[in-house]
Amino acid sequence: MRLLAPDEFAHVFRPLQGRRIGYVRPHGNVGDRLIEWATHQLFDHFHIPWKTVAADDPLDDVDELVFGGGGNMGTLWEGNWRLRERCLTRGKPLTILPQSFTSREDRPFQRVYVRERASLTLYPRGILAPDLALGLDPPPIAPPTRRQGVFLRRDSERAVPRRWLARDPVRLCRTPLEYLQLAGRYERIVTDRLHFAICGLLLGRQTTLLPNAYHKNVSMFETWLGDLGCRFATSVPDALCRQAA
């Protein structure tokens, strides 16, 4: 079941209707592929003709480029910063699907959608829109077989101390379906991986989100996820105490 109905994303997709869209895949992990899955569903829902293109592909049959949602604008992840630069050299309008900002990126984009309010301070011209994974229509997933799982990231965005039993879910899954299935095994989930938390919410699991190294997680919670049943805690012990209450 979707967390947000397609109409919540209409202001993102209706400007693309009647255009031939070249979808550019950002560099990323399985969480970004979850967003991409939802993006494809929403393209189809709004009857938008699209195809996946690489930054250097011929674009004779493309009217506009669309850069996939998720990830971060700015230079924190240099590979995607450079990929957007290459897209802009192609001479086609470039729309950025909902992202967070870690630093300013003032470039001649057609439209920029921002997925949480804190990032609007770095890009005031951004258009607020939900993370597209909130619009995913997931397939049926088996009922949970375990009570509780703690999953923590192992990269530069980590903000909470790692527990030795905690695993990074992006290292355990190759596809977004596997990501959903992993989340589905647990009745209760504690994680600092935003899209693993979204998997838990999509499946109706009790989910507690922890902070990451910048504003993304807390701002996503304040902007959208708190209203969708997510909990927020500042540490694993705090999360476990709240879940036990």
Distance CA 136, CA 228 (A): 14
C-alpha span between 206 and 200 (Å, rounded):
7
Read off the pTM.
0.96
Do residues 243 and 208 touch, judged by C-beta distance below 8 A? yes
Q: How far apart are CA 144 and CA 191, in angstroms?
A: 17
CATH class for the domain made up of 6-135: alpha beta
CATH architecture group of domain 146-244: 3-Layer(aba) Sandwich (3.40)
Contact 140, 157 (CB under 8 A): no
Cross-strand partners of 191: 151, 209
Provide the residue type at 39 as one letter.
T
Angle made by CA atoms 5, 10, 11, in degrees to the nearest 5: 135
pLDDT of residue 138: 98
pLDDT in tens, the chain (245 residues): 899 999 999 999 999 999 999 999 999 999 999 999 999 999 999 999 999 999 899 999 999 999 999 989 998 889 999 999 999 999 999 999 999 999 999 999 999 999 999 999 999 999 999 999 999 999 999 999 999 999 999 998 999 988 777 899 999 999 999 999 999 999 999 999 999 999 999 999 999 999 999 999 999 999 999 999 999 999 999 998 877 66
Nearest to 176 by CA among 208, 147, 139: 139
Residues of the chain with CATH 3.40.50: 6-135, 146-244
pLDDT at 1: 82
pLDDT tens digits, 20-34:
999 999 999 999 999
